[in-house]
Chain A
Amino acid sequence: MTLLEIADLRVAFPGPTGPVNAVNGVSLEVEAGRTLAILGESGSGKSVTAQAVMGILDAPPARIDGAVRLRGRELLTLPRKQRDRISGEEIAMVFQDAMAALNPVYTVGHQIMEVLRVRRGMSKADARRRAVELVDRVRIPAAKDRIRDYPHQFSGGMRQRIMIALAISLEPDLLIADEPTTALDVTVQAQVMELLAEIQRDSGMGLMLITHDLGVVAEVADDVAVMYAGRIVERGTVGQIFDGPAHPYTEGLLASMPRVDRRDDVLYAIPGAPPNPAQLPTGCPFHLRCPRATDECRVTLPPLAALPAGRESACHHYEEVLGARR
Chain B
Amino acid sequence: MPGDDVVLRVENLVKHFPLKGRIPFTSGGVVKAVDGVSFDLRRGETLGVVGESGCGKSTLARMLVGLEQPTSGAVRFGTSIVHQARGRDLRALRRRIQIVLQDPYTSLNPRRTIREILLQPFEIHPEVLDRGRRLDRVRELLELVGLDPHLHLDRYPHQFSGGQRQRIGIARALALQPDVIVCDEPVSALDVSVQAQVVNLLERLQDELGVAYVFIAHDLSVVRHISDRVAVMYLGKLVETGPEASLYDTPRHPYTRALLSAVPVPEPAVRGERQRILLPGDPPSPVDPPSGCRFRTRCWQATETCATTEPPLAAGAHPVACHYPLAA
Interface residues of A (CB under 8 A from B): 41-42, 155-158, 185-191, 193-194, 212-219, 221, 238-239, 242-243, 249, 252-254, 256-261, 263-264, 266-271, 273-274, 289
Q: Chain B residues with Cβ under 8 A from A214's Cβ?
A: 192, 266
**Would A260 and B191 count as touching, CB distance under 8 A?**
no
Interface residues of B (CB under 8 A from A): 52-53, 161-164, 191-197, 199-200, 218, 220-222, 224-225, 244-245, 248, 258-271, 274, 276, 278-279, 282-283
Q: Chain B residues with Cβ under 8 A from A253's Cβ?
A: 192-193
Select A259's contact among B53, B161, B265, B283, beta carbons within 8 Å. B265
**Would B52 and A187 count as touching, CB distance under 8 A?**
yes
26 contacts between A and B (CB under 8 A): A42-B191, A155-B282, A185-B282, A187-B258, A213-B264, A215-B221, A216-B264, A218-B265, A218-B267, A218-B268, A219-B264, A219-B271, A239-B268, A242-B267, A243-B269, A256-B193, A256-B196, A257-B192, A260-B248, A264-B225, A268-B196, A269-B196, A270-B197, A273-B162, A273-B193, A289-B193
**Would B161 and A273 count as touching, CB distance under 8 A?**
yes
Q: A186-B52, A187-B279, A257-B266 in contact; A267/B225 too (CB < 8 A)?
A: yes
**Would B271 and A218 count as touching, CB distance under 8 A?**
yes
- 3 A-B pairs with the lowest CB-CB distances in the bound complex, closest first: A215-B264, A258-B225, A190-B262
Report the Cα distance A227→B23, complex, angstroms: 52
**Would A273 and B163 count as touching, CB distance under 8 A?**
yes
**Would A256 and B192 count as touching, CB distance under 8 A?**
yes
Measured between C-beta atoms, what is the minimum distance from B270 to chain A in Å? 8
**Would B199 and A267 count as touching, CB distance under 8 A?**
yes
Closest residue of chain A to B248 (Cβ to Cβ) is A260
Closest residue of chain A to B263 (Cβ to Cβ) is A260
Report the Cα distance A168→B15, complex, angstroms: 43
**Would A274 and B263 count as touching, CB distance under 8 A?**
no
Report the Cα distance A130→B274, complex, angstroms: 35
**Would B244 and A269 count as touching, CB distance under 8 A?**
no
Report the Cα distance A185→B278, complex, angstroms: 13
**Would A157 and B267 count as touching, CB distance under 8 A?**
no
Give the number of A-B contacts (CB < 8 Å).
Answer: 136
Q: Chain A residues with Cβ under 8 A from B218's Cβ?
A: 185-186
Most central of B262, B268, B278 by chain A CB within 10 Å: B268
Q: Chain B residues with Cβ under 8 A from A264's Cβ?
A: 225
**Would B220 and A260 count as touching, CB distance under 8 A?**
yes
**Would B193 and A274 count as touching, CB distance under 8 A?**
yes
Report the Cα distance A269→B218, complex, angstroms: 20
Report the Cα distance A86→B282, complex, angstroms: 35
**Would B266 and A188 count as touching, CB distance under 8 A?**
no
Measured between C-beta atoms, what is the minimum distance from A238 to chain B in Å? 5
Most central of A155, A189, A270 by chain B CB within 10 Å: A270
Q: Chain B residues with Cβ under 8 A from A189's Cβ?
A: 262
Measured between C-beta atoms, what is the minimum distance from A288 to chain B in Å? 12
Q: Chain B residues with Cβ under 8 A from A212's Cβ?
A: 191-192
**Would B52 and A41 count as touching, CB distance under 8 A?**
no
**Would A252 and B193 count as touching, CB distance under 8 A?**
yes
Closest residue of chain A to B272 (Cβ to Cβ) is A219
**Would A190 and B278 count as touching, CB distance under 8 A?**
yes
**Would B191 and A273 count as touching, CB distance under 8 A?**
yes
Measured between C-beta atoms, what is the minimum distance from B220 to chain A in Å? 5
**Would A261 and B265 count as touching, CB distance under 8 A?**
yes
Q: A187-B262, A194-B278, A219-B265 in contact; A260/B221 too (CB < 8 A)?
A: yes
**Would B200 and A269 count as touching, CB distance under 8 A?**
yes
Q: Chain A residues with Cβ under 8 A from B258's Cβ?
A: 187
Measured between C-beta atoms, what is the minimum distance from A172 to chain B in Å? 25
Report the Cα distance A289→B194, complex, angstroms: 11
- Beyond the given A258-B199, A260-B224, please list 13 additional residue pairs across the A-B interface where CB-CB is below 8 A: A156-B282, A185-B53, A215-B221, A215-B265, A242-B269, A256-B192, A261-B248, A264-B225, A266-B200, A267-B199, A269-B196, A269-B197, A270-B193
Report the Cα distance A274→B195, complex, angstroms: 12
Most central of A158, A187, A188, A267 by chain B CB within 10 Å: A187
**Would B200 and A267 count as touching, CB distance under 8 A?**
yes
